[in-house]
Structure 1
C-alpha cells in the first residue's frame, strides 16, 4: 500500500483543516510551484483511491471540493466536517440550490442567487443554463420578468414533483437541513412544531412513520402549503377520491391539516398521494384492503420469474410480504406518474443485467393490475429485492448457461423455437427469442446462440432448424453438451421405457406417462428447480375448425386475402377490426410470414386487437402473390393472446407445412371438411409421439 510523502501529507492536512483555502495560498504557504502542487495533488488522489475514499476536485478558480466522507474518515473528531459557511458547492449542488429558491420564493433577482451562493453573476448565469437543462424532462422552464423576477413556469403537478425531488437532494448535502432552511427561508421553530404535529398523528391513528424520508415531511408540508397560499394550486386531476379516501394516509393528511383552513380537496388528495408514494408508512400487517389483487399479481410475477430464471424462490411468503411493502407505494407512484424523472438511474451491474432482464420480462401481471408500464427505476428496485433474496438463499443465475434464440422467420416461429429449445435444455436460462436485426444490437450478455442461420458473434452458435424433429433434437443435445461440457449425455428414450413398462404393467394414460418421463429424464440435477413446462392445450384442429376455413377460387390482392381469411374470427369477436389492419401493415414489412411452399401465416401483436386465441384458414385455387417469388395458396391467420397458448397448434402447423403430401392435399381439397381431416392428423400424431 502506498504511503504519502511529507509534502503531500501536509497539503492533505491543510485541506482537511481549511477546506476553503485556494491553490495559490497553498503554493505561497509551502513555497511550491504550480507544477509541484499539481504533482502532490495527484499523489493525494491516488492515495484516496487506494483508501476507497472519494477524490478531491479542484476548480479552475483554485477552490478544492471535498466529499463529506473524506472529512469523516480523516479529520480529527472535533473538526470532522467543514461548516456550512466554508463548504464550497459543486455546480450540480448550486443547480439544486437555485431550483429550491425558485420553488419556495417569489420575486427573485440575480442578486438573491449571488448572495445565497456566494458566487459571481457570471457563475449564476452559467448555472441558470444548467437549471434550464435540468427542467427539460419535467417540461418546465424558468423565466425572468422585471415585474416578478425569476420564476418557474409549467404544470403545477410537475412543479410539485420537482419540489419533492430537489428537497431530498438538498437534505442529502452536507449540513443539508441548515442549507434548506436558509435557501427556502424556513424557521426552525416551524419545523419543530410540524414534528410535534406528526408525532401526535402517529399516536392518535396508531401509525408509525419509519423510513429514511420521514425527516423530510415537515419541509414538504411547509413548502406545499406555502405554494397553495401563494395561489400555486393543483387543478382537478385524475386522482380518484374513492381510491384514496379510505386509506390511513388520507386520515393522517386530514389530521395533520386540521388547523389549516381552506385547503381544497384536490390538495388534500395530493398530500395523501405524497404519503402513499414515499414509503413513509410501515405496518407489521399489510392488508389487501388498500390495493385489491396486489398480492395475487406479485405471486404471478414470481411464478413467471421462476420459469424464466430456472430457480425456485425459497421462503416465498416472506419474499412476497417484502415485495408488498415496496410495491404498495410503487403502485401509486406508477399509477399517478410520480416516479422520478431526471434522477440518475441506478445502473445494474454486469452480473445483474441478465437477472434484471428476466425480472422485466416477468412484470406483466403487475403492469396489468396498475394499468401502466413499470418504469425502469421501479424494475431495478424489484431486481435488487429478488436478487438479494436469491443471494441469501445461495442461489444465482450467474453460473447457468444463458442462451438466446435468433430466427429470421418472424415472431411466432422464433417463439416456437424458444419453447422447443427450452424443453430440450431445461438447465439453460433462455433470455430471448429475436430477429437478426434485434440480435445485432442485443445488449444483454449471453453464452450461446441457437439459430437456423450462421451469425457473426464471438459466442458459440448452434445451428438449429426452425422446427426440430425427434432425431434433430437428440443430435442437437449431444452436440451442445459435448461442446459445452465435453461429454455426451446417455441416451434414454421415453418410448423404450414405455415399451418395457407395457410388458409388466397396464398403463392408464400413456400420453401423461410419456410427458412425466420426459420431464424426469431431462431434469437438471444441479439446478435448484425441477420445473414442469405447462404444455399449451389447444391442438391445431381445435383452433382451425371447419367454420374457420374459407375456400375461394381467387382474390384480387394479398391484403384482400388477409381480410377474407380473418372474417370468421372477426364475426365471432375473437379479434377486432384493428387487428386485421395491423396484420396488413406488418405483412408489408415482414417477408418471414411465409413458412413453407405456398403457405403463409400473417399475424400481429396480441395488444393490437386480439380478444381470444384463434386461427382461421383461407385456401385459394389460384395463388395470390406476396412480394416477389412467393405464390401463396394457403393463408392461416394467427391471433395469439400471449406467447404460449397457441404454440402447440403452431408446432403442428409447422409439421404440416413441412409435408409436401399434406400441403398439396389441402390445396386440392374441395371442402372445409376435407381440409380439417388433414389437419386432425397432426393432433393424433402429437398424442402418439
Structure 2
C-alpha cells in the first residue's frame, strides 16, 4: 500500500533523474528518516508490481532501473493500492452515501475503506460536522442504515462542492474509482467522450479538470435520480433555453433518451459554469462583461497607476474567465483553485490590489466573486503586467500540457518561454489533445504525469526560483549535446580556453558551459525583487500636519518634497493636477485618502511614495470619500515596480491603527517604523 506522501516522492523521483535524498528533504521539508521510510514504502509497491527497487548510488542519488513510462502508465491506470487520508475518506463516505441512499451499514463502510470501525465512526462524526454548513446531516436507522438527510438541492450542492475539491487532487482517480461500480464507470466514460466531442464542435474550450467536474457531477446527479431546483434561474442574465449551451445539452441528453427539462437545465448550468467560449460579438452578454472589464482596467490605471497597451488581447482573455465566473456566482457553483496558496505566495501583491479593486467596484454581479476566482484573475493580470519577448532562435519544438484553466496555462507558457527561448512552444493542449501534435514536437512540459515517448518535464504550475533552477538543470542535462552542437559561442569559448590553459575534461567543461550559456534567462532567477513600501519612502518624503487651502495645493505640497529628493520633475506635478482636473477625483481611493499619480513618461525619475497628512481635510470633489486628510503621492517608472509597495499600502489603508498613528505621530520616523514593523 502506498500513501499520499510516498506517492508524491515517487513522482519527484520519476520527474527528476538522479535526485538525491537531500534534495527530496529540501523540497518536502521532511526529515531524512521520513524520506527513507517513504522510499521503503515505494520500493515495496515497485517490487509488488514486478519492478526493481530504487537504487541508491554514490552521492545519495536515487536511480529507477525500470522504464519510467511503464511506471507512469501503471499509476495513471490506478494500478496502485492507495492509502486514503482522513479528508479523502470523508469524501468517499459522502459519495458512497450519495450514490447508495439506503441500507448502508458501518460494515459496508469499513469494508469499502479497509480501516477500523473506530476510524469510520470518527470519520462519520467529522463529516457530519462539515455537512452542517450545507444544512445536511447523516442519520442512522436500523431500517435504512446510514442516510444523507436534508433537501435534495442542498445534497446536490454538497456533492458538487466535494467533487470540485476532489478534482483538484492528483489522487482524484483513486477516490472516484472506489465509489463507482462498473456500470457507473462505463456511464461516466461514455458521457465524457460524447461531451468532449460535442464541446469541440460548438467551439467551447474546457480544461481537463473542468470536463471531469461537469461529467462526474452530472453522472452522480443522474445516478441518484433526484429533482433539484437551480437558484437564481429566473434572475439569470438571459433565458437558459436561449443560449447555445442549452441546445448542446439537449442534443447530448436526447442521444441518451433523456428528455426531462430539469436535467437539460442542470447540464446547461454546469457547461456555462465550467467551460469558456468566445462571447458573441455585440451581444447583451458581451456588453455586460466588457463593462466589468472596462471598469477594472480603468480603475487599475487611474487608481493604481497600472496601464495596459494590448487592450484587445486583455479583453479577449478576461472575457474567457469572467463569463464562467459570473455564471458560477448565479448558480452558486463552487470553484476550487488548488494553486491559490502558491499564487498568493508569488503574486500576493497583485492579488491584494485585484481584491481591493473588486470590492470597490459597484457592480452587483461580481460582488460575491470567490477568493479562488480572484486568484485565477490574479494570474491573468500577472501575465498582462509582465513583458514577454519572442525569438526566432528556436532549436526545439515543445508543447505545454495543463489540465487547469486558461489563466494558469497562459502564465505557465509565459514563464517557460522566458526560461527556454530556444524552444518554439505550440499552442497549449489538454491531456487528450497531446496525441494530435505529438509528431510535431521534441519535448513535453506538463503539470501532471502523462504517458508519452517524448522527453517529459513535470512542472509546477506556479514556479518559484528553485523550481526554475531545477527545471533548467534537468532540461540542459537532457539536451546538452544538441545545445553544444548548435551553439557557436561555446566552441569559440573553448578555443580561447584551450589557447591559454590545459583542459583535462573537454566534454565536461563544454557540458558546464552549455548549462551556463543555454539559459540566458537565468537573469530571471536573480532578478531584483520588487521594493517594499519602506524602501520607496523615507523620512524626507513623509510630512505631517501640512496646511493646504484646496486639493491642488494638497497635491502640490505632497509632491514638492518628492521633486526635491530627485524622484519626480515639475512636469509630473503639473500632470497629476491636470489629470485630476480632466478626469475627476478618481485619485480619492477610499475614505479620506488620495493617491495622486501620473504616467511614468510625465516626469518620473524614480519609483517612490510620499506620505502627507493634512492639518485640516480638504475637498477633492469625491461623492463618497471626501474630505481628504491623507495624501499618498505615487511615482513609478513602469507598470510593475511599485506593485508590492502598493499592495502593502492597500493593506495599511484597512488598518485602523495606521490611521490612528497618522493622526498622532509627531515624527516621520514613527510612521516609517510602523510600516517596517508590518513588513516583518
With normalisation by structure 1, the TM-score equals: 0.51
Question: SS of the counterpart of 1:335?
Answer: helix
Query: 1:478-536: CA deviations, max 9, x gaps?
Result: 54566xxx5486778999xxxxxxxxxxxxxxx99xx9xx97999343589xxxxxxxx
Contact 2:214 2:274 in 1 (8 A): no
Structure 1 residues 270 and 287: alpha-carbon distance in aligned structure 2, compared to 1, 3 A threshold: farther
Partners of 2:26 and 2:599 in 1: CA distance: 52
Contact 1:355 1:387 in 2 (8 A): yes
1:123 matched to 2:119? The reply is yes
For residues 629-644 of structure 1, the aligned pairs below 5 Å read 641-643=623-625
Contact 2:249 2:268 in 1 (8 A): yes
Q: 1:468 aligns with which of 540, 548, 552?
A: 548
Structure 1 residues 392 and 47: alpha-carbon distance in aligned structure 2, compared to 1, 3 A threshold: same
Match of 1:92 in 2: 87
Match of 2:157 in 1: 161
Q: Which has the higher contact order (CA 8 A, sep 6+)?
A: 2
Match of 1:270 in 2: 266
1:447 matched to 2:534? The reply is yes
Partners of 2:250 and 2:307 in 1: CA distance: 44
Q: 1:79 aligns with which of 53, 71, 87?
A: 71
Partners of 1:96 and 1:178 in 2: CA distance: 12
Match of 1:225 in 2: 222
Partners of 2:627 and 2:174 in 1: CA distance: 63
Q: CA RMSD in A?
A: 5.2
Contact 2:230 2:266 in 1 (8 A): no
Partners of 2:255 and 2:382 in 1: CA distance: 46
Query: 1:234-293: CA deviations, max 9, x gaps?
Result: 1364312753221111111111221566765344323211111112x4448666344542
Structure 1 residues 55 and 269: alpha-carbon distance in aligned structure 2, compared to 1, 3 A threshold: farther
Q: 1:380 aligns with which of 375, 379, 382?
A: 375
Structure 2 residues not aligned, in runs of 5+:
1-5, 14-18, 46-52, 55-61, 390-530, 575-580, 586-596, 608-614, 632-680
Question: SS of the counterpart of 2:162?
Answer: helix
Contact 2:165 2:336 in 1 (8 A): no
Q: 1:257 aligns with which of 242, 253, 256?
A: 253
Between Structure 1 and Structure 2, the one with more helix by share is 2
Match of 2:24 in 1: 48
For residues 133-282 of structure 1, the aligned pairs below 5 Å read 133-171=129-167, 176-177=172-173, 179-187=175-183, 188-198=185-195, 201-202=198-199, 206-212=202-208, 213-227=210-224, 229=225, 232-235=226-229, 237-240=231-234, 242-258=238-254, 264-279=260-275, 281-282=276-277
Structure 1 residues not aligned, in runs of 5+:
1-11, 20-42, 395-443, 451-457, 496-510, 529-593, 602-614, 616-637, 652-689
Structure 1 residues 379 and 103: alpha-carbon distance in aligned structure 2, compared to 1, 3 A threshold: same
Partners of 2:120 and 2:33 in 1: CA distance: 20
Partners of 2:360 and 2:542 in 1: CA distance: 33
Contact 1:359 1:383 in 2 (8 A): yes
Match of 2:503 in 1: none
Partners of 1:136 and 1:200 in 2: CA distance: 39
Partners of 2:630 and 2:29 in 1: CA distance: 58
* Residue 209 of structure 1, CA deviation: 4.8
For residues 348-359 of structure 1, the aligned pairs below 5 Å read 348-349=343-344, 352-359=347-354
Match of 1:631 in 2: none
Partners of 1:492 and 1:94 in 2: CA distance: 65
Partners of 1:354 and 1:245 in 2: CA distance: 41
Match of 1:3 in 2: none
Structure 1 residues 147 and 347: alpha-carbon distance in aligned structure 2, compared to 1, 3 A threshold: farther
